[in-house]
Amino acid sequence: MSRIDESRPFIPVRIAVLTVSDTRSLEDDKSGATLAARIEKAGHILVDRAIVTDDRDTIAGKVSDWAYSPDIEAIITTGGTGFTGRDVTPEALEPLFEKRMDGFSALFHRISFDKIGTSTIQSRATAGLMHQTFVFVLPGSPGACKDAWDGILEPQFDYRHMPCNFVEIMPRLDEHLRRGGGKSA
């Protein structure tokens, strides 16, 4: 079972939060605010926070800009994961993933099922790596953001979390580039 190894130092991660919505502003964005508060409470650095409309090119452009920034190590998006015509966040981002994190979606749905039952099937939460940057695509509800952060992301972004965590593998995410394989920046 997982545990915290207190002999290891806490290492803050630099995270950006993107809300995808046609109707929200920073003032009334509860999901983005929920993530921002949890990120900072956990001791991480909220590098940037923005809102973009439900447009594939706009979403992909913002996340790509952030993924190529040396100041950002992880990106969390909220919104646009449902089935309505305007829900296009997975379509905008999954083609840009160099590696998919299928386990994130599976675990998110397991946690979500315990809270909202079969309604979890209406979310297309996903995650992957883009230019050695973790990208997490969450539903647009504060509850879903809490579930994903509390149940998955907070422990995985804690270097002390054992037996393994994202922070300890971050320095090795670009090994394929250093060996001459894969795409270069």
Q: Using an 8 Å Cβ cutoff, are 10 and 159 in contact? A: yes
pLDDT at residue 182 is higher than 60: no
Q: Is residue 5 part of a domain?
A: no
> What CATH number is given to the structural domain containing 71?
3.40.980.10
Q: Is residue 4 part of a domain?
A: no
When pLDDT is averaged across residues 165-170 and rounded to a whole number, the result is 96
The pLDDT tens digits of the residues spanning 28-84 come to 999 999 999 999 999 999 999 999 999 999 999 999 999 999 999 999 999 999 999
Q: Report the alpha-carbon distance of residue 61 to residue 135 in Å, rounded.
A: 13
Q: Is residue 183 part of a domain?
A: no
Residue 46 parent element (H or E): strand 45-52
The pLDDT score that the predictor gives to residue 185 is 47
Q: Is residue 3 part of a domain?
A: no
Mean pLDDT across the chain:
94
List the domain range (segments joined by +) for residue 165: 12-178
Within 8 A by CB and 6+ apart from 41, the residues are none
> Which is more confidently placed, 180 or 23?
23
Q: Is residue 30 part of a domain?
A: yes
Strand extents, DSSP E, the chain: 3-4, 14-20, 45-52, 74-78, 99-100, 126-130, 133-138, 161-162
Coil, strand or helix at 126: strand
The pLDDT tens digits of the residues spanning 131-163 come to 999 999 999 999 999 999 999 999 999 999 999
CA dihedral 59, 125, 158, 16 (to 10 degrees): 10
pLDDT at residue 118 is higher than 60: yes
Q: Is residue 142 part of a domain?
A: yes
When pLDDT is averaged across residues 12-30 and rounded to a whole number, the result is 96
The pLDDT score that the predictor gives to residue 55 is 97
Counted domains in the chain? 1
Q: Is residue 185 part of a domain?
A: no
Q: Is residue 2 part of a domain?
A: no
Q: Using an 8 Å Cβ cutoff, are 123 and 144 in contact? A: yes
The pLDDT score that the predictor gives to residue 183 is 54
